Structure 1
Amino acid sequence: MRIDIITVLPELLKSPFEASILKRAIEANLVEIHFHNLRDYTSDKYKSVDDYQFGGGAGMVMLIEPIDKCISALKTERSYDDIIYMTPDGERLNQGIANQLSLKKNMIILCGHYKGVDQRVRDHFITREISIGDYVLSGGELGAAVLCDAVIRLIPGVLGNETSALTDSFQDNLLAPPIYTRPRDYNGWQVPEILFSGDFPKIEKWREDQALIRTRERRPDLMDD
């Protein structure tokens, strides 16, 4: 998979990809991450990427021209499965979307800033708009990092145990069941005996039941779905 990220603040984005699972995925050539500074595609000496709104109003708007130049340059080199715009009014990121995107080969992620992008960018270049929640950030960079993490960890070979991602919360619309490790007894707090039974079908049934209970208590909306 290759992900091209268009941003006005590439330095803000780089650190998540220089550690842990994302770094290992890049070093193993399972994913390529490329950052593109939108100011490199401007045409004035000030490297302007924003301007005032037509019709008045608070907040600056990202210009269409540098975005067009950047996306067009990338598209001359390869075809893209999706061109994603990170925006608070996009579809809310969930596990199903992450699963879908993990199957893609090439993606562009455009990070919004200021008041947002000229609507014509959304109308003519963007194929999918994604939000990481019902709140507003200073820019789309942190959202892009969240999206990349959610997607990249699903690529075969990224996690040490490939079945791990299949038992995460929100797979099959369920929250993950409780998990335990050593010690068996800590301050009198005991690990459930079933986990030491050696009866793996019963253990799996217990985990399924616990996942259902936890989902019903904490996220009943998932059960409705």
Structure 2
Amino acid sequence: MSLPAEAAESPDPAVRVAVDRALSKRRGDAQREVEDILDATLRVAARSAPSAPRVADIVAEAGTSNQAFYRYFSGKDELLRAALERGTDRVYSYLAHRVAKASDPAEQVEAWVRGVLAQVIDHTAARQSRAIISNLGEQAVAEAGAGGLGGVRDLLRAAVRAAGSRHVDLDTGAVFDLTFAALRRHAQDGTAPTPAECTHLVRFCLAAMGIAGGG
């Protein structure tokens, strides 16, 4: 006995389950492979700086193959942009976690400022970031970081607004620019802010907004 055409075209539930399971495993394997390649990129870039990392060295470090590499990335520039974008996303997640733990707006602003500066206090992370950024053009760096840094700014704006600022956008922009200027200066010099410098910057920002706090 033949089945109606529409029934014959509908996959059996057991078939759907089997296909979904296979695709899920394939996606998981691909995600782990890409993560391995991106992690290897950071390590190789930090070791080879100021020279650009070679794809062959990244592939060897990741324990994968050229075929696997080019399955996910068209070339080294795309890989470096992906590494920078992932780094920016991780900074956002880190700051969101720190800010969420703070109990009042002043502490949230402080958590944000200290969290940003922590990116150069961690020497390994700072060295890896410098290596990636130095091998990308300014436009590529701006494009890769635009989305993530927009979210980072939004975290600060929410804290500034909650603190009762009468000039939310101006105060947010001033604190953002000042903190990232300190970050870039230390990143370029290969240095890290001292605890005293971090505390002074926090107090300066809070005082400029008329907010008490900053330990």
TM-score interval for Structure 1 and Structure 2 normalised by the shorter chain? under 0.3
State the structure with more CA Rg.
Answer: 2
Quick check: which one's helix share is greater? Answer: 2
Quick check: which one's strand share is greater? Answer: 1
TM-score under structure 2 length normalisation: 0.27
